[in-house]
Amino acid sequence: MHASMKIISTVLASACAALALAGAASADLQIGVVDDRAKGGDGTTFFSQMNDVGLTQVRVTVLWDPAAPLTIPEQAELEQMLPFAQSRGVKVVFAVYPAKPRQAPLNAAAAAEFAAFAAHVARTFPTVKEFIVGNEPNQTRFWQPQFDGNGGACVAFTRMLAASYDALKAVDPANRVIGVGLSPRGNDDPNAENNISHSPVTCLRDMGAAYRGLARAKPLMDEFSFHPYPKTDRDTLMKGYRWPNAGVPNLARIKQAFWDAFRGTRQPLFGEGGAAGGLKFRLDEVGWQVRILASAEHAYEGTETIEPTDEQSQARIYGDLIRFLACDQSVSSLLFFGLVDEPDLDRWQAGLIRADGTLRPAYGAVKSTFAQTQGRCGGKKHSWRHAETVLGARAKFPSMRRFLPVKHRYWAFNATAEENARFQAGVFRAGTSRSAMARQLARGRGLLRTSGLLNAYWTPLVKFPGRTLPRGRYVFGLRLAAEMNPNRTATFMSAPFRVGHPGLR
């Protein structure tokens, strides 16, 4: 018997037991896959494999073509898939977005056409209640143009999401609208040589501004879809990104950006109503690509274009990923990108099953980890509360214990932060209160003063004009305001220093 047939026989034999387990246990963190293979071929095999691992959600794409605005691609395949999924206790999630980046709806009329398509899909498939609207609109690959004279991709996407929310709720108020399918990375550079894109933090800022401009009395989304891929496939789970990008260990950065963008509006935020309340993450694309074993090479074609990890590292990461995210009550589900590898090496190979049908170590790791945990936290739960100051803000003032000569003209100190921030700096008479100094800095006042942009993670020299100061005691003052939300500020004051010897005239 062929190896893949043995696998299928084993999977089928355990399917009933897996179904019983899935029905008896209610997991906190749901796990599943993103895989359009669910739409075609042998549904029995695909969903039985899902049952064997413990996967309870599958996300499939439904693409919109404005040239045929009410045509549902692969409608027959979707109709065939849904009974298989339902009979095996697997929830189907539709990801609905434009088929091509140049088909992105850039105005209100086009957004309404897309929303009409989303509603048509909901009416056609009334058993599906969860819709992810959008797919990485902050990436050129999925939305063009990224930058224009009307606010850019994330502003236009907000109009599309708002129209889709209203249309899907009009079909059935029980429909769950999940936005945005946000990519974890972007360069925020309209003049970049390639991959012109928005970082997730900047995209959320633009979405918040666009939402406020719509003056809506309704939210934009019920859940938030995010794709926390690693920066490279050889990264460890907890390596993450620097601001303004974000991966699995940087979810707090996304929560903060969401709070900055939508605070005070009708859109629910992360962390509202206690640790378990508020908006939830749908982490619906996650994956570490792996090298292909020599024994499976016959099932693949083309040439690898990235630096993949090894299968044992992938398996370890996937198990740790479930345990880590189970302790974050803001994460409702985790979907691995691919149950089965794509055979074209230029595409995606992060599945639990190789293209030849054999099982990767990650298959067993996900299965055993979920069986042990049932998606519940086995350690300390992650806590988060929004910040109201600049993230990671610090100032390093020079030590000036002795008096400075009256001819002294060099005045400077260092400052840094873990996000971009605007700064106002000044020199003030000692004895000025911190609150009074903060007010004067906000107005650009000071005996000496300077201002500028503090880029994240840099520690630049904050330097004042080269002028002398009268004899007396002084302090340096610094006020930072977060670029993404100027209401988040941080103020620093140095120890006093003296200019001129107190015993000399």
Which residue from 414, 483, 458, 459 is spatially nearest to 242, judged by alpha carbons? Answer: 458
Beta bridge partners of 61: 95
Report d(CA 341, CA 458) in Å as an integer.
41
Q: Kindly report the number of other CB atoms within 10 A of residue 231's CB atom.
A: 14
Q: What pLDDT score does 21 carry?
A: 39
Q: What's the CATH architecture for 3-373? A: Alpha-Beta Barrel (3.20)
Q: What pLDDT score does 150 carry?
A: 86
Report d(CA 380, CA 273) in Å as an integer.
19
Residue identified by tokens 């298959």 is 363
Q: What pLDDT score does 227 carry?
A: 98
Which residue from 108, 222, 198 is spatially nearest to 160, judged by alpha carbons? Answer: 108
Fold of 394-499: Immunoglobulin-like (2.60.40)
Which residue from 179, 247, 275 is spatially nearest to 218, judged by alpha carbons? Answer: 179
What Rg, from alpha-carbon coordinates, does the chain have? 27
Domain ranges of the chain: 3-373, 394-499
Which two structure tokens, joined as six digits, stand for 447? 């005996």
Q: What is the DSSP string of 395-421?
A: EE-----SPBPTT----EEEEE-SS-E
By CB atoms closer than 10 A (0-12, 13-18, 19+), residue 5 is exposed
Q: Kindly report the number of other CB atoms within 10 A of residue 455's CB atom.
A: 15
Q: What pLDDT score does 24 carry?
A: 34
Classified as helix, coil or strand, 325 is helix
pTM as predicted: 0.92
Q: Kindly report the number of other CB atoms within 10 A of residue 396's CB atom.
A: 13
* Whether 250 contacts 241, CB under 8 Å: yes
Beta bridge partners of 63: 97
Q: What pLDDT score does 130 carry?
A: 98
Which residue from 287, 132, 321 is spatially nearest to 224, judged by alpha carbons? Answer: 132
Q: What pLDDT score does 394 carry?
A: 98
Q: What is the pLDDT of residues 271-294, one digit of tens each?
A: 876 556 799 999 999 999 999 999
* Whether 391 contacts 417, CB under 8 Å: yes
Report d(CA 153, CA 140) in Å as an integer.
9
Q: What is the mean pLDDT of each run of 10 residues along the chain (505 residues)?
A: 39 39 57 95 89 97 97 96 94 98 97 98 98 98 95 97 98 98 98 96 98 96 98 97 98 98 97 75 97 97 96 98 97 97 96 98 98 95 95 95 90 98 97 94 95 97 96 96 97 95 64
Q: What pLDDT score does 11 carry?
A: 38
Report d(CA 35, CA 347) in Å as an integer.
13
